[in-house]
């Protein structure tokens, strides 16, 4: 086998291995869900069945919140109650959890942090109902900053460290270090095995 052919085979192996690495990495990331916690999350408002922004977008507050617990996700979305009322999801009225001024927050279940949910709303100005799609942007999910009770028995140094930690907003892990390591090792072994096969075929 000539040097030129060997170089060609090696380049081919690298390309295929790179594609394999991306595929494995994407699969691992997609399989990992958010940890149990409350998150701020971006939400877009589209016309029903489309990807065009709805005229009602300004009446839905973004970011919204999602509460992840035991593998289930509850979305908490605020709607401007002067523009949109009687919020229904899946034919059932969404639960009202709070009202502040012209904003009413509703809670309902969603399948995952990237779900697109058809929502039926009453538009008082039109005297009619309409359906809008709420598209949750899972890649924007950030842990909501929590508050902790102060421990009066701790020393000043510990209290200072606690304040520093509680003032930080953490980002959710989409894949832990172990999954990343598995991805890299799988890609490496795949490249080595593929190169061996190509080399044997060409000999």
Q: Can you give the pLDDT at residue 117? A: 98
Q: Can you give the pLDDT at residue 99? A: 97
Q: How does strand 103-110 pair with strand 37-47?
A: unpaired
**Domain coordinates of the chain in residue numbers?**
3-32+182-202, 37-146
Bridge partners for 43 per DSSP: 136
Q: Which CATH number fits domain 37-146: 2.60.40.1850, 1.10.10.10, 3.40.50.720, 2.40.70.10?
A: 2.60.40.1850
Q: pTM to 2 decimals? A: 0.59
Question: What is the 3 state secondary structure string of 25-85?
Answer: HHHHHHHCCCCCEEEEEEEEEEECCCCCECCCHHHECCCEEEEEECCEEEEEEEEECCCCE
CB atoms within 10 A of CB 148: 9
Residues of the chain under the 50 pLDDT cut: 24-32, 147-176, 178
């Amino acid at each position: 086998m000539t040097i030129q052919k060997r170089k060609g085979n090696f380049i081919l192996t690298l390309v295929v291995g790179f594609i394999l690495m991306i595929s494995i990495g994407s699969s691992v990331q997609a399989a990992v869900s958010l940890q149990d916690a409350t998150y701020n999350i971006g939400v877009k408002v589209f016309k029903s069945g489309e990807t065009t922004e709805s005229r009602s977008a300004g009446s839905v507050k973004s970011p919204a919140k999602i509460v992840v617990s035991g593998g289930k996700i509850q979305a908490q979305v605020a709607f401007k109650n002067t523009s949109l009322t009687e919020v229904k999801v899946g034919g059932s009225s969404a639960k009202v959890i709070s009202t502040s001024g012209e904003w009413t927050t509703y809670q309902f279940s969603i399948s995952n942090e990237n779900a697109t949910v058809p929502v039926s709303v009453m538009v008082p100005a039109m005297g009619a109902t309409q359906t809008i799609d709420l598209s949750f942007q899972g890649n924007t999910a950030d842990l909501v900053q929590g508050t902790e009770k102060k421990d009066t028995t701790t020393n000043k140094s510990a209290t200072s460290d606690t304040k520093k930690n509680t003032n930080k907003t953490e980002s959710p892990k989409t894949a832990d270090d172990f999954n990343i390591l598995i991805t890299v090792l799988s890609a490496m072994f795949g490249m080595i095995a593929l190169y061996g096969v190509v080399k044997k075929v060409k000999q």
